């Protein structure tokens, strides 16, 4: 077995695909996606031990972009969040109120891992964040996600999750999602992309369910061309 010159990869046996993909100058993460999409499993990835998790990169997909959340994003994000129907199944179903949302927004800024989701036109459409990076467990949580109802339906939420999972799997083996037991909409969305329910727990007296996704359980996108993302670490 020879060490592949693309950071941290070992070549086992790839001929045509290796030549084809390297000519496209893909990153190791993008190579992984191609191999998963086309059923090629002859590469293995070794995550460098000296890599630190960048909690706020800028991630660009086909339909939306994620960038670090800023203080001056409050007004545009609250315009989205002020719709009561977004929070209808959420444990904190009063988050559409400005006073409540201000606390949510403050926590997002303080977390150091929150994103603003914008449409291709640059309009705010939602938010999500990374939380609780555990190097020893090789795990991180993705949560606090919401989208404007105009962007419900799977395409945008699915791409947002895949962009974040794509980034996370460069550093960890497991990504978890903690969801309210009554929030069936979010549970179905996570199951749709390969989330596996692993436990239930109480959080501030509320029942939550925990889902886990690994690189091997993540489902393939229906359109592989929409799954190749651009990552810009800022």
The pLDDT of residue 51 is 65
Q: Which domains does the chain have, with CATH numbers?
A: 1-46 (no CATH), 47-232 (3.40.630.30)
User: Of 143, 145, 147, 148, which is closest to residue 213 (Cα–Cα)?
Assistant: 143
The enclosing H or E element of 177 equals strand 174-180
Q: What is the Cα Rg of the chain in Å? A: 18
**How many Cα neighbours within 13 Å face the side chain of 36?**
22
Contacts of 54 (CB under 8 A, 6+ apart): 167, 233
Residue numbers of the chain with a pLDDT score lower than 50: 1-23, 35-50, 224-234
The pLDDT of residue 185 is 86
The pLDDT of residue 126 is 97
- Burial (CB count within 10 angstroms: exposed 0-12, middle 13-18, buried 19+), residue 41: exposed
The pLDDT of residue 27 is 57
Contact 182, 175 (CB under 8 A): no
The pLDDT of residue 3 is 42
């Amino acid at each position: 077995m020879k060490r592949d010159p693309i950071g941290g990869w070992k070549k086992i046996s790839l001929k045509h695909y290796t030549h084809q993909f390297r000519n496209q100058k893909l990153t190791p993460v993008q190579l992984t996606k191609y191999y998963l999409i086309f059923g090629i499993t002859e590469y293995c990835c070794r995550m460098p031990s000296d890599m630190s998790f960048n909690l706020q990169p800028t991630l660009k997909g086909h339909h939306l972009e994620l960038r670090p959340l800023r203080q001056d994003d409050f007004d545009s994000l609250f315009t989205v969040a002020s719709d009561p129907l977004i929070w209808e199944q959420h444990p904190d179903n009063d988050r559409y109120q400005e006073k409540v949302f201000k606390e949510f927004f403050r926590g997002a800024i303080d977390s150091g891992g929150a994103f603003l989701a914008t449409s291709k036109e640059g309009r705010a459409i939602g938010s999500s964040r990374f939380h609780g990076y555990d190097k020893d467990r090789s795990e991180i949580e993705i949560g606090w996600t919401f989208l404007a109802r105009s962007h419900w339906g799977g395409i945008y939420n699915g791409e947002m999750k895949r962009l974040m999972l794509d980034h996370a799997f460069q550093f960890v083996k497991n990504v978890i999602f903690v969801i309210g037991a009554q929030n069936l909409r979010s549970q179905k969305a996570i199951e749709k992309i390969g989330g596996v329910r692993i436990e239930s727990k109480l959080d501030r007296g509320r029942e939550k369910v925990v889902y886990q996704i690994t690189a091997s359980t993540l489902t393939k996108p229906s359109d592989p061309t929409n799954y190749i993302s651009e990552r810009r670490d800022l």
